[in-house]
């Protein structure tokens, strides 16, 4: 009997490991294609500015309309994820994202491009918090943070592929930006196929019949039990997304403003993007060793310092080094943010709470690129503009320190 129990235990462990890795791989693949699209958008903005003779304000709107869609998608799909399931929303949002992204390659006017970017944003904004919620609910507490950060690391892989595609395709072909968009949209359908066989969150399945109406869920996230959690997340998400999209969607364009050619700026941003991966991996290791709050605070402070140096750099090696550190710290902080957010709520309201926090963050994503476009048009110094993002990040850090609680190894309700 003892032998049978031992054999069963030994056998079940690899099966669980494969299941967890399969979940990470399938979820991460879709996440990677999402990142490819967002990453390529930053390069496309720089290319379209030349091809369509866009003003800085119009360039800012391309990034901002994407965030408007993300805000709507995070709010709407986050609520539905608590009602119809994480898996269904996971699939629906990726289909929406893929179709809209592919169609945007065939647009000839800024207006049509902006409309389709709104729907791309809806799919992307709905998928990301739901994906992290699904993965959080499907792994054990002792490895939950690490797995979610590793899921986020697929974002760096997607950005890296986007930078490679942009460097070799956009400047070297007529309508290269259209080819780049098609290349990001088509493989995403393969991720849709993989997700059809993905099981839903076991916690959601167990609580499916106990999910309250939308109005009650919205009231619950601001009830006494969750007030500090929700306030902290809304401040944190707003400041992180505001600074990220303000800085990273403008990164190639900022390089051009600093005097580099379009091709050279793509090359430098590619080098900076590579630094994202070690940032994720270090965050994944530290998040279970020391905790969520430590990773968020330290990596966000590293982001603020790097952004300040990058904005004021006028020497190439300082620009490249600070840009690499900016990628390293900022994306590591993003991984911790996605791990930390679902841990603030119980199962029946987790999708709603995570989605609402992400939606508030996307408001920051709307304002960030618009702010840069407006200030660049008024000839404000890039260092001064990046200083605004530094201040915003520090506000997010203070919210975590004073309002956040440590959730390492906690069992999700």
CA dihedral 63, 66, 71, 77 (to 10 degrees): -160
| pLDDT at 94 > cutoff 80 | yes
Q: What is the mean pLDDT of the chain?
A: 86
Q: Say how far apart CA 99 and CA 186 lie, in whole Å.
A: 9
The answer to whether residue 88 sits within a structural domain is: yes
Tell me which residue has tokens 């998928």. 127
Give the per-residue pLDDT at 307: 94
| pLDDT at 98 > cutoff 80 | yes
Cα dihedral 65, 66, 70, 72 sign: positive
- CATH number (domain holding residue 336): 1.20.1250.20
Give the per-residue pLDDT at 7: 33
| pLDDT at 3 > cutoff 80 | no
Q: Say how far apart CA 366 and CA 362 lie, in whole Å.
A: 6
Contact between 243 and 393 (Cβ < 8 Å): yes
Give the per-residue pLDDT at 402: 97
Lowest mean pLDDT among 65-79, 132-146, 191-205, 270-284: 191-205
The answer to whether residue 271 sits within a structural domain is: yes
Six-digit token pair at 316? 């190439």
Contact between 121 and 68 (Cβ < 8 Å): yes
For the chain, the helix, strand and coil percentages under 3-state DSSP, each to the nearest 5: 85, 0, 15
The answer to whether residue 316 sits within a structural domain is: yes
The answer to whether residue 346 sits within a structural domain is: yes
The answer to whether residue 116 sits within a structural domain is: yes
How many domains does the chain fold into? Answer: 1
| pLDDT at 393 > cutoff 50 | yes
Exposure on the CB side of residue 270, measured as CA atoms within 13 A:
14
Q: Say how far apart CA 42 and CA 25 lie, in whole Å.
A: 26
Q: CB within 8 A of 15, min separation 6: which ones?
A: none
Q: How confident is the model at residue 12 (pLDDT cuts 50, 70, 90)?
A: very low
The answer to whether residue 5 sits within a structural domain is: no
Exposure on the CB side of residue 110, measured as CA atoms within 13 A:
18
Q: What are the tens digits of pLDDT across the range 245-260?
A: 889 878 777 887 877 7
Q: What is the pTM of this model?
A: 0.81
Exposure on the CB side of residue 160, measured as CA atoms within 13 A:
16
Q: In this prediction, what percent of the chain has a pLDDT beyond 70?
A: 94
Buried/exposed 132-148: b ≥16 CB within 10 Å, e otherwise: bbbbbbbbeeeebbbbb
Q: How confident is the model at residue 407 (pLDDT cuts 50, 70, 90)?
A: very high
Give the rounded distance of the alpha carbon of 217 from its chain centre.
24
Full residue range of the structural domain in which residue 171 is found: 18-198+214-403
The answer to whether residue 209 sits within a structural domain is: no
**φ/ψ bin of 53: left (φ > 0), alpha (ψ from -120 to 50), beta (otherwise):** left
Q: Say how far apart CA 180 and CA 195 lie, in whole Å.
A: 24
**Count of beta carbons in the 10 Å neighbourhood of residue 282:** 17
Give the per-residue pLDDT at 405: 94
Range list of β-strands (E), 214-369: none
* N-to-C CA span, the chain: 35
The answer to whether residue 11 sits within a structural domain is: no
**φ/ψ bin of 186: left (φ > 0), alpha (ψ from -120 to 50), beta (otherwise):** alpha
Give the per-residue pLDDT at 8: 35
Q: Say how far apart CA 107 and CA 376 lie, in whole Å.
A: 27
Give the per-residue pLDDT at 251: 79
């Amino acid at each position: 009997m003892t032998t049978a129990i031992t054999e069963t235990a030994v056998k079940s462990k690899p099966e669980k490991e494969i299941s967890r890795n399969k979940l990470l791989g399938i979820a991460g693949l879709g996440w990677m294609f999402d990142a490819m699209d967002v990453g390529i958008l930053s390069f496309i903005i720089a290319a379209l500015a030349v091809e369509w003779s866009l003003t800085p304000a119009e360039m800012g709107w391309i990034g901002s309309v994407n965030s408007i869609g993300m805000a709507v998608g995070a709010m709407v799909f986050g609520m539905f994820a608590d009602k119809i399931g994480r898996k269904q929303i996971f699939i629906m949002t990726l289909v929406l994202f893929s179709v809209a992204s592919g169609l945007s390659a065939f647009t000839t006017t800024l207006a049509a491009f902006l409309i389709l970017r709104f729907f791309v944003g809806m799919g992307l904004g709905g998928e990301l918090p739901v994906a992290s919620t699904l993965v959080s609910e499907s792994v054990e507490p002792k490895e939950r943070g690490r797995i979610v950060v590793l899921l986020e690391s697929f974002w760096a892989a997607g950005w890296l592929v986007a930078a490679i595609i942009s460097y070799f395709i956009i400047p070297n072909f007529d309508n290269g930006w259209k080819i780049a968009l098609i290349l990001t949209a088509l493989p995403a359908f393969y991720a849709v196929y993989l997700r059809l066989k993905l099981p839903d969150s076991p916690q959601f399945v167990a609580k499916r019949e106990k999910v309250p109406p939308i109005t009650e869920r919205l009231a619950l996230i601001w009830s006494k039990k969750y007030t500090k959690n929700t306030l902290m997340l809304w401040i944190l998400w707003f400041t992180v997304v505001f600074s990220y999209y303000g800085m990273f969607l403008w990164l190639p364009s900022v390089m051009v403003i600093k005097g580099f050619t379009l091709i050279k700026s793509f090359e430098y941003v590619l080098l900076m993007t590579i630094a994202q991966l070690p940032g994720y991996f270090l965050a994944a290791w530290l998040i279970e060793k020391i905790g969520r709050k430590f990773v968020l605070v330290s990596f966000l402070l590293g982001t603020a310092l790097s952004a300040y140096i990058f904005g004021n750099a006028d020497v190439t090696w300082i620009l490249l080094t600070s840009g690499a550190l900016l990628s390293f710290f900022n994306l590591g902080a993003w991984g911790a943010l996605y791990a930390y957010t679902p841990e603030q709520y119980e199962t029946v309201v987790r999708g709603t709470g995570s989605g609402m926090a992400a939606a508030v963050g996307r408001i920051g994503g709307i304002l960030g690129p618009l702010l840069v476009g407006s200030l660049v048009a008024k000839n404000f110094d890039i260092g001064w503009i990046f200083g605004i993002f530094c201040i915003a990040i520090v506000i997010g850090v203070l919210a975590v320190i004073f309002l956040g609680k440590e959730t390492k190894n906690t069992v999700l309700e």
